[in-house]
Amino acid sequence: MDERTLVDTAKKMVAPGRGILAADESTGTIKKRFDSISVESTEENRRAYRDLLFTTPGAEEYISGAILFEETLYQNTSDGTPFAKLLADRDIVPGIKVDKGAKPLAGAEGETVTEGLDGLRERLAEYHEAGARFAKWRAVITIGEGLPTNYAIATNAHALARYAALCQEAGIVPIVEPEVLMDADNTIEVCEAVTRDVLNATFAELAKQRVLLEGMVLKPNMVISGKQCAVQADVETVANATLRTLKRCVPSAVPGIAFLSGGQSDELATKHLDAMNKQGSAPWSLTFSYGRALQAAALKAWGGNSANTEVAQKAFFHRAKLNGLAATGRYSEAMEEAA
């Protein structure tokens, strides 16, 4: 394991004022996103859309890394440059989603375990060859009646650590993503308790499986009220609960935490990140690894029409910039109107 390279890459991914673009929607997920704008999900449309995002002028000021789906890693820009090369040339670290998705967990009704460990060592070698320098694996934890079970938490934590250890062996920085879903009717207190259990289990496994904490990035959910909960915690409450939980559970050797947006609106995801960074007391860098909250406006502006490329890129740049500012606590709501 080349520790130096891992540490340098991880630091770069969470450098102050920059964050990660999650553009690694699987074929099924990108179809859903394209359905919402009535665009057919062909390989060329997927390529054209990612091309638009990755070639956005100035994006590298606020974007440190981009997570790609496997198909995208082997695609090129319109002028034939491999996306991984384009990104690296722009000082944006290319990454790759390597899990095979969350599948029903045997003996645990309503819960999942993320698959994709078999053959992962060989795949990682190929992805590294193609230019990927970090990877992502997403575990999904569901809150519900009697859920999550300790069984599901432990099984997912174990798989996350196995993935992370294999990545580091291959010289690839693992993004460790244990996502507690935010779409149920639970209170923020329940989200806090579950997130704490999940993070504790995850870091216990990472330690057992000898993962170098300095050479990874954590991608957690924020501690937040469930979408269906009648009482929605405000921005300060979310920022405080999230920071408190992370400080209790995440060793300071981890260089950075890059949040997922998980269905929060664009603006709310930015406000939460900004509120945490305005407190200025965290031992790790706190940034974003947003999918929907970075892309929603750009996707809509594009609408599948290449004539809209420039407006779509402007929309993406605007979101990237405001999140970049939020990553150092310099965002203000007035900046939204400047769009």
Active site residues: 177, 219
Closest approach, Cβ 167 to ligand 13P, in A, equals: 16
Which residue number, 51 or 177, has a Cβ lying nearer to ligand 13P? 177
Q: What angle do CA 302, 287, 321 make, to 5 degrees?
A: 40
Nearer to ligand 13P, 1 or 70 (CB): 70
Q: How far is the CB of 290 from ligand 13P (least distance, A)?
A: 4
Residue 148 beta carbon to ligand 13P: minimum distance, rounded to whole angstroms: 17
Least distance CB 177 / ligand 13P (angstroms): 6
User: What does the per-residue mask of binding to ligand 13P show for 119-138, with x meaning CB under 6 A?
Assistant: -------------------x
Segment interacting with ligand 13P (CB under 6 A) among 76-84, 188-196, 259-267, 272-280: 259-267
Q: What angle do the packed helices 309-326 and 292-302 form, to 10 degrees?
A: 160
Residue among 245 and 270 whose Cβ is closer to ligand 13P: 270
Distance from chain centroid for Cα 105: 23
* C-alpha dist (Å) from residue 279 to 161, 269, 320, 326, 330: 31, 16, 21, 12, 11
274-310 exposure pattern, b = at least 16 Cβ within 10 A, e = fewer:
bbbbeeeebebbbbbbbbbbbbbbbbebbeeeeebbe
Q: Show contacts of 103-110: CB within 8 Å, 24+ apart.
A: 105/151, 105/152, 105/155, 107/151, 108/149, 108/151, 108/152, 110/142, 110/144, 110/147
Residues 263-322 that bind ligand 13P (CB under 6 A): 290-293
Interface mask toward ligand 13P for 173-202; x: CB under 6 A: ----x-------------------------
Are 175 and 258 in contact by the 8 Å Cβ rule? The answer is: yes
Binder among 262, 319, 323, 324 for ligand 13P (CB under 6 A): 262
Residue nearest to ligand 13P (CB): 291
The residue (of 182 and 206) whose beta carbon lies closer to ligand 13P is: 182
Query: What distance lies between CA 146 and its chain's CA centroid?
Result: 27
Please say whether the beta carbons of 109 and 157 come within 8 A: no
* Single residue of 39, 260, 299, 327 touching ligand 13P by CB under 6 A: 260
Q: Which is nearer to ligand 13P, 12 or 33 (CB)?
A: 33
CA distance 146 to 189: 15
Contact flags string 21-50 toward ligand 13P, x per CB under 6 A = -x----------------------------
Cα 179 to Cα 261: distance, rounded to the nearest angstrom? 10
Give the binding site for ligand 13P (CB under 6 A): 22, 138, 177, 260-262, 290-293
